[in-house]
Every structure is written in structure tokens, then in C-alpha cells.
Amino acid sequence: MGFVEPGPVYAPRTKHARTDTRLILEVITSTARWQAERDTQANVKPIREFIWFHWELPRLRDIRDRRGGTLVAGKYPAWVPWSPSARRAHRHGGRVGLEHVYPAQLIVRDLLDKPPANEAMLIRKLTRLLQYAVVTAEDNTALRTARVHHGLAPDSSNPWDRYRVAGLPLDQFRPLVDLP
């Protein structure tokens, strides 16, 4: 059986979803306006981290709490695809990392270049683009060597193709456990 791309798994609401969304949109639109006024590009890392702590992590925890999902070490969702080497590392106490399938740097750059017009558009965009895989440092090295660590595969808009280009066995990526 070949690889089946998982759909988004975000819970529809967290306690402060509306407030979080409004705040993130304000940060994005303010930064985009600053970029235009200064005629320069902002560093995406602070916004990437802001989205992680105010959008992604609360939703991952919400899935854990409401749907019974497992977060390995409090951060790594067991219900997303894990590379074969990440599953081995997990079994043997090795290190793993959470990978944005669509590179986070590209997500933030896209948000800054074309800010969503409203909260609903931001929610749709983040829900569509934020998908994860759990990988090892060796997997990341393969992505870097193939020059797709922070970008998409050449001639492809499918972010999962990055793993194929890097020679990773995408058909063997599987969750540790399925969501109940």
C-alpha cells in the first residue's frame, strides 16, 4: 500500500480560538505593513514561533485532551506520520523532531506576502498548510542534502514530495497510533 496523505487533524475550537486568531492576524498584517513601509522583508522566525505557541501547540494539546491523542514527550503527535527511523528512535530512546511538512518558513512568508483578509481566511490557510511528520536528524540531513529542507520539491506543489526527493521512504511513514 502506498502513502496516503493525512488530512488536517486540528480540533475545530480551543478555548481561546477566536482571540488567538485575531491576535495572529493583527501580528501578520502589522508586520506586512511594516515590510511595505520599510521596503524590506521581516525575519520570519519570530512570527513562526508566535504561531507555534499561540496556534499550533494549543491545538495539538486540545486534540490530546478532547480526542485522546498522544503527545510523545509533550510535543510530538503520535497520530501524524512518523518516518521509519523516527519510529525506531522512539522505541530505543533516540531523538526525534517535529517537521512541518509544508515548511514553516514558507507558510509565514506567504502569510506576510499575501495577508489573509479576515480571520476565517487565516483559519482556512493555517488548517490547510499546517501538517506534521516526525523525523530524525538523519532524515533532516537527507532533506538538507536534497535542498528541500526549507522549500518544496522542484516542479511540485505537493509538500510531501520533499520526502520523496530526499530519498526517504514516504510509503513507510506511519503514525505511532491512530486517533481514537
pLDDT tens figures, 92-130: 999 999 999 999 999 999 999 999 999 999 998 998 899
User: What global pTM score does this model have?
Assistant: 0.89
pLDDT tens figures, 138-160: 999 999 999 999 999 999 999 99
pLDDT at 25 over 90: yes
Range name among 10-24, 41-55, 75-89, 144-158 with the lowest pLDDT average: 10-24
Question: Is residue 45 within 8 Å of residue 95, measured between CB atoms?
Answer: no
Number of structural domains found in the chain: 1
Residue 10 lies in a domain: no
Distance CA 139, CA 177 (A): 21
Place of cell 498548510: 129
Distance CA 62, CA 64 (A): 5
Helical packing angle, 84-91 and 137-145, nearest 10°: 160
What is the per-residue pLDDT for 14? Answer: 65
What is the per-residue pLDDT for 150? Answer: 93
Q: DSSP states of the chain as a string?
A: -----------S--TTHHHHHHHHHHHHHHHHHHHHHHTSPPPSHHHHHHHIIIIIHHHHHHHHHHH---EETTTEETTS-B-HHHHHHHHTT---EEEESS-HHHHHHHHHHS--SSHHHHHHHHHHH--EEEE-HHHHHHHHHTT-SSSPPTT---TTHHHHHTT--GGG-B-SS---
pLDDT at 180 over 80: no
The fraction of the chain above a pLDDT of 70, given in percent, is 94
Residue 22 lies in a domain: yes
Residue 1 lies in a domain: no
Closest alpha carbon to 71 in 85, 88, 59, 55 = 59
Distance CA 34, CA 38 (A): 6
Residue 77 lies in a domain: yes
Residue 147 lies in a domain: yes
Residue 6 lies in a domain: no
- 61 vs 38, residue with greater confidence: 38
The whole domain housing 32 covers: 17-172
pLDDT at 2 over 70: no
Residue 159 lies in a domain: yes
Residue 75 lies in a domain: yes
